[in-house]
A and B are shown apart, each in its own frame.
Chain A
Amino acid sequence: MKRTECLAMILAGGQGSRLKALTKTVAKPAVPFGGKYRIIDFPLSNCVNSGITTVGVLTQYRPFELHKYLGSGSAWDLDRNGGGVFVLPPYARENEQADWYSGTADAIGQNLNFIDLIDPDYVLILSGDHIYTMDYSWMLESHKMNKADATIGVFEVPWEEAPRFGIMATEKETGRITEFAEKPKEPKSNLASMGIYIFSKPFLKKYLEEDTQNPNSSHDFGKDLIPKMLNDGARLFSYAFDGYWKDVGTIESLWQANMDLLQDTPPFEINGDWKIYSSNPSMPPHYIGADAAVKRSMISEGAKILGEVDHSIIFQDVKIGKGAKVTNSVIFPSTVIEDGAVVDHAIIAQEVVIKAGAHVEGKEEEITVVAENEVVNA
């Protein structure tokens, strides 16, 4: 049987409380993005495109919709013999109560049995809430070449934003990490952690087992494990990524990342060879009516546009009535915007009805959110 060289583990259990109304019924990784995707499509597609075909998805908060979405993994070509997608919710072990994942490291630690079962050489740890396209195979190459114990994906942030991130100080020539500071007040570098780690498996296992026993640990890679590894003099290297990368943990950043796709030349190639796979609804091409006006927008299948759409993202099966006006907004699947309604600077969740003539208007600094299944009257 084929061995798994590198196992990916996607942390997809986050509630995403800063996304407020959008995560009332689904976990953050299942939040729609970009007209047809969900956030988790990005790390999953990156894995497949990088040749990593064994992927554990750690779920916890509101898992059912995410589980249903993942299914057998076939949408991402991850229904593989001896590999593919494994959904990993918390579970009970003998002599122990089932326990929630209490931190990133705890989530991986509780699944050490799974990692042993797959028995890979390397474990790639990813977040389920970032938008980017990245070839992990180069990062793995660099990990091997450096004979590293751990490799951390980093990207350059503007110096003034550095205090919001986990910041790495590195040796210039080698990229070896000398210091790590979580949200430093006075950053020594502007290389921020992307929350992407490759560990050699025995090394990871040793540290996770220790961490589980440590009552003072908050069981977080950034806060606890990485500093301890550095303290012990382990070989930790950085791997610089210079493409588009966005944490979409807040309403504003989620809105902004959607709007980024609408630039004349989007900041990352979404239409190229690096396909983003997604569970496809079987819907016809969308229909644009005789009196409609559509520009600077992305529109998906099954939508019916009779009104005006400018600088917006429209998901599948959305209906926009005559004389309605949608600008600077993101409209999730199966929502209806009736005749003459106005929507501006808003994110409208699934299956909402904006009644004829109603106005939903936000501002760039304060995006209005309408939650799933709501009805907005005029």
Chain B
Amino acid sequence: MKSVLGILNMQEKNDLIRDLTAARAVEALPFAGRYRLLDFSLSSMVNSRITSVGVMLPDWSRSVLDHIRSGKDWDLARRRGGLAYLPASIDRSDSRVGDLKDLYFNLDYVEFGDKKYVLLANASFVYNIDFTNVLKFLQDNSGDIAIVYYTAKEDAAGKNVVLETSTNGIVTDIAEASSVKKDTKVAMGAYLMPVPTFAYIVRSTYERGGTDFLVDGIIRHAGEYKIMGYGHDGYVAHVDSTDAYYKANRDMLNPATWEELFMGSRTIYTRVKDEVPVQYKDTASVKNSLVANGCIIRGEVENSVIFRGVTVGKGAKVKDCILMQRADVQDGALLENVICDKNVIITKNKWLKGAKTYPYIVTKNIMI
């Protein structure tokens, strides 16, 4: 994998997840108690021994920059290669949206390096995959492009790219679908191809007015390439809506999923914060929950994901909730089906309740 350049794409649309992404990219959303979404694709690259990664900065880039910084926590602060930030293009004469423009203006980074392949990965997916198998699969089948897909385990709403493959793995059809049926093959936003193929797609598509790498570059020209579909069996979640975010977080409460993603040999890395182990006090009662370091728990917590530095006061009850960093749930407060963004304060004895299918969202830095 020394020959592969990773590019982290952070252009997920936020229409369906607005409340949580008012001031951050979808890819920078806090996830599973201590991570951010981009940790999964970035760590998978690093664990696949990719040592050069370009990070395409989203419009709201502060939380991404603050999280990744030098890349040291992913072992990407290197003398040679390592991490490179690819800023959004600033060509004022071009008002097109989409990722293609940014890829086009950063093509020199890809072409003038010493890498033979590009792995473009969309950082809004949760997975833990070994990309070395994808490269081998592409080489063994002499394909032009490899697309990594998973097979949907249930029906799901939301725009996704679906594929059909023949028995030998060749992609016979690829299209955008507004929802996904069980057992369909869904692209998980990771594409591997040789540098010249990548550069040709980006250049020729952009110069002909394209905006989206996948739709305009690959789907519209699918017939011109030998595209291979690589099936990934493990856990996959695409976080493109509040619903998907809430569900994926609660998927982590399944010990088998938790173990598959985090406890195997491929570590998911994230920015280290030096928090104290969780302090459970005399009155604490916790069931089926993930609790991150730095928390102090005196109340009841059930079916919830609790991020770093949260406090839950005496007599407070937290059920089916996602509480992001430093939420302060004071004595006697009651929360059910609630997502609290960072630095929220729920004062004494307040009750907040959302629905299972429609969690109530408390936005950043709010006091209730």
Contacts and interface: CB of A to CB of B under 8 A. Distances in A.
Interface of A: 34-36, 74, 264, 270-271, 275-278, 280, 282-302, 304, 313-315, 317
Nearest to B33: A285
A317 B262 CA distance: 11
Interface of B: 32-35, 72-73, 252-253, 255, 258, 261-263, 267-270, 272, 274, 276-294, 296, 305-307
Interface of A is mostly: loop
Contacts, number: 111
B290 A271 contact: no
Nearest to B309: A271
B353 to A, nearest CB: 22
A47 to B, nearest CB: 15
11 contacts: A36-B293, A264-B282, A283-B262, A284-B32, A285-B292, A288-B287, A288-B288, A291-B287, A295-B283, A300-B278, A314-B277
A334 to B, nearest CB: 11
Contacts of B292: 285, 301
A280 B272 contact: yes
Contacts of B261: 284
A298 B277 CA distance: 6
Contacts of A317: 263
Nearest to B43: A282
Contacts of A298: 276-280
Given A282-B269, A288-B289, A290-B287, A299 B278 contact: yes
Given A294-B280, A299-B280, A278 B255 contact: no
Nearest to B268: A282
A289 B33 contact: no
B281 A292 contact: no
Between B32, B286, B296, the greatest number of chain A beta carbons within 10 A of the residue's beta carbon is seen for B286
B278 A286 contact: yes
A271 B296 contact: yes
A271 B292 CA distance: 14
Contact of B262 (A36, A284, A299, A313): A284
B255 A304 contact: yes
A280 B253 CA distance: 23
A100 B250 CA distance: 56
A301 to B, nearest CB: 6
A287 B253 CA distance: 7
B294 A302 contact: no
Given A271-B296, A282-B73, A282-B268, 17 more contacts: A275-B274, A283-B263, A284-B34, A284-B258, A285-B306, A285-B307, A287-B258, A287-B289, A289-B287, A291-B287, A295-B283, A295-B285, A297-B279, A298-B276, A298-B278, A301-B293, A315-B277
